[in-house]
Chain A
């Protein structure tokens, strides 16, 4: 038991350092998409629902887990899609508009 929990905690601590390091200085423009992206990633809770349903007995437990799976799926699918839409501004630019630099006379 102890060794399992310690392994988990070791992973937890390392993941925390990765999380702190991976985000350095982010331009303001990307704050919202980045938040939305991390939001989609914690949709990983969906896996928790999937694993938990295997040993869920009784109507209430199963109902709770199915709702959790629904929630998790919304989090994942909606999260990644909405992030992608936010990032549309960084996708291909069709017509490079020539901006007349200072109209002299």
Chain B
């Protein structure tokens, strides 16, 4: 071994590299909070990660490790991760984040399990390792399974609407008690691997059952919570493995993730507690999916009629939602807006903080279509304008326009801030069918006298409207 390699394998050198790495994480995160520096911030954090990984590979502790196995792991992970991130559609990004978060939690749980085996199963003599390991196993497993359910819900593999589990809260508490009980037994000296597996399984069930009852509209808050969880579990694993990089990076994510979750929940006028305590409203009676109370008739219209209505408007507000994202209609919408602007009609876009599946979803899509930033209006900014708006064009948005949130106290979304689309003079709703939104509830806006529905694929409909506009 040359003196050079000895230097790079020095423990102090590696710790120094870790310090550089987590400094970069902190700088990166700070930059991610502002639009002008965000891109750079992400890159800084990524470089920090590279530094941390390279330094770890040089770690003398790894002498004698099977580098072939490490290579296999890194290569397989890259082969799966890169195309997944590259090819995922803008619309599917939220569930991708859930999935990436889940595997992180899974990794923590697996490491905890392997470390338990490595310690010969006896954690009672080294509680400073044992306690964090048990914690990492519980939280990692919850995060993995909870994230998978969040993914499945957003990907529509399972129903996005809240699933009521009988005795839900009680069952969850029992599962948590089981996991903690098994953990305590292990810490007291039981060397049974079965008990450790019981921790993982009970936590896994808890992860599943805790997320299942939560409606799809609340999923961003859930993913953010689980994200913070994974951070905490990583920090715990760091304590067990005595690895500062893990402790710092994990804890920073745990803490900042909590703040972020809180901000997200506030943007939706929800509290974290009410989201996590299962389904909309927690204790509130389950909502009947039926259309009984709303009733009324729905008027459908044609693209040509919509074009005429738009052509004679002074101000048109486009209200995009998940439907626009699914249809990838943002470019077509931009074309239509250009056609309207040519006629001297003012076009604005009303962006609800949680339109689509995630906060900021619509901004990303519309920016991709080069919609001028000044035309994107946040909810508080645009709401007073609806009264002066001749036509509101709702493209695949549903729950965020539901007036029940304002008026009907027993509605599951009561209190959620919405776009006051129903105040505009005319409302056109583009929708594929009369199916209800992600929250699984009826929207009286569709039955409003001022509302006309244009059924069909959003992209095709908008294209048709644009071509009709050209002929006027």
Q: Residues on A close to B: CB < 8 A?
A: 1-2, 4-5, 8-9, 11-12, 15-20, 22-58, 60-62, 64-91, 93-97, 99-100, 102-105
Determine the distance from Cα of A37 to Cα of B234 in the docked complex, in whole angstroms. Answer: 15
Asked whether, in the complex, the Cβ of B239 is within 8 Å of the Cβ of A5, the reply is yes
Q: Which residues of chain B are within 8 angstroms of A88 by Cβ–Cβ distance?
A: 364, 367-368
Q: Which residues of chain B are within 8 angstroms of A34 by Cβ–Cβ distance?
A: 29, 32-33, 38, 260
Determine the distance from Cα of A57 to Cα of B116 in the docked complex, in whole angstroms. Answer: 12
In addition to A12-B239, A41-B45, 16 A-B residue pairs with Cβ atoms within 8 Å of each other are A15-B250, A16-B255, A23-B260, A31-B220, A33-B32, A34-B260, A36-B93, A37-B28, A39-B101, A49-B111, A51-B241, A67-B110, A73-B78, A80-B49, A83-B42, A100-B341
Top 7 A-B residue pairs of the complex, sorted by shortest distance between their CB atoms: A103-B344, A73-B77, A19-B255, A69-B73, A89-B367, A81-B85, A78-B81
Asked whether, in the complex, the Cβ of A23 is within 8 Å of the Cβ of B107, the reply is no
Q: Which residues of chain A are within 8 angstroms of B244 by Cβ–Cβ distance?
A: 8, 11
A-B contact pairs, 18 of them (CB 8 A): A9-B239, A20-B259, A26-B263, A38-B253, A38-B257, A41-B28, A42-B249, A44-B49, A44-B249, A48-B246, A50-B56, A56-B118, A68-B106, A75-B107, A77-B85, A78-B85, A80-B49, A103-B343
Q: Which residues of chain B are within 8 angstroms of A78 by Cβ–Cβ distance?
A: 80-82, 84-85, 96, 99-100
Query: Secondary structure at chain B's binding surface: helix, strand, loop or mixed?
Result: helix
Q: Which residues of chain B are within 8 angstroms of A70 by Cβ–Cβ distance?
A: 73, 76-77, 80
Q: Which residues of chain B are within 8 angstroms of A68 by Cβ–Cβ distance?
A: 73, 106-108, 110-111, 114
Determine the distance from Cα of A44 to Cα of B249 in the docked complex, in whole angstroms. Answer: 7
Determine the distance from Cα of A2 to Cα of B234 in the docked complex, in whole angstroms. Answer: 21
Q: Which of B104, B117, B360 has the most CB of A within 10 A?
A: B104
Which residues from 153 to 169 on chain B have a C-beta closer than 8 Å to any C-beta of chain A? none
Of the candidates A26, A32, A66, the one whose C-beta lies within 8 Å of that of B358 is A32
Range for the number of chain B residues in contact with chain A? 35 or more
Asked whether, in the complex, the Cβ of B85 is within 8 Å of the Cβ of A45, the reply is no
Q: Residues on B close to A: CB < 8 A?
A: 22, 25-26, 28-30, 32-36, 38-39, 41-43, 45-46, 49, 52-53, 56-57, 59, 61-66, 69-70, 72-74, 76-78, 80-82, 84-86, 88, 90, 93-94, 96-97, 99-101, 103-104, 106-108, 110-111, 113-115, 117-118, 126, 128, 220, 223-224, 227, 230-231, 233-235, 237-239, 241-260, 263-264, 267, 341, 343-346, 353, 358-361, 363-364, 367-368, 370, 372, 374-375, 378
CB-CB under 8 A for A37 and B66, given A47-B243, A99-B372: no
Tally of A-B Cβ pairs under 8 angstroms:
391
CB-CB under 8 A for A74 and B100, given A35-B227, A41-B253, A48-B237: yes
Closest Cβ of chain A to B267, distance in Å, is 5
Of the candidates A23, A44, A48, A55, the one whose C-beta lies within 8 Å of that of B29 is A23
Q: Which residue of B lies closest to A93 (CB)?
A: B370
Of the candidates A47, A56, A75, the one whose C-beta lies within 8 Å of that of B56 is A47
CB-CB under 8 A for A17 and B255, given A49-B107, A72-B77: yes
Asked whether, in the complex, the Cβ of B104 is within 8 Å of the Cβ of A39, the reply is yes
Asked whether, in the complex, the Cβ of B93 is within 8 Å of the Cβ of A86, the reply is yes
Determine the distance from Cα of A44 to Cα of B232 in the docked complex, in whole angstroms. Answer: 12
Asked whether, in the complex, the Cβ of B370 is within 8 Å of the Cβ of A30, the reply is no
Determine the distance from Cα of A62 to Cα of B238 in the docked complex, in whole angstroms. Answer: 19
Asked whether, in the complex, the Cβ of A47 is within 8 Å of the Cβ of B53, the reply is yes
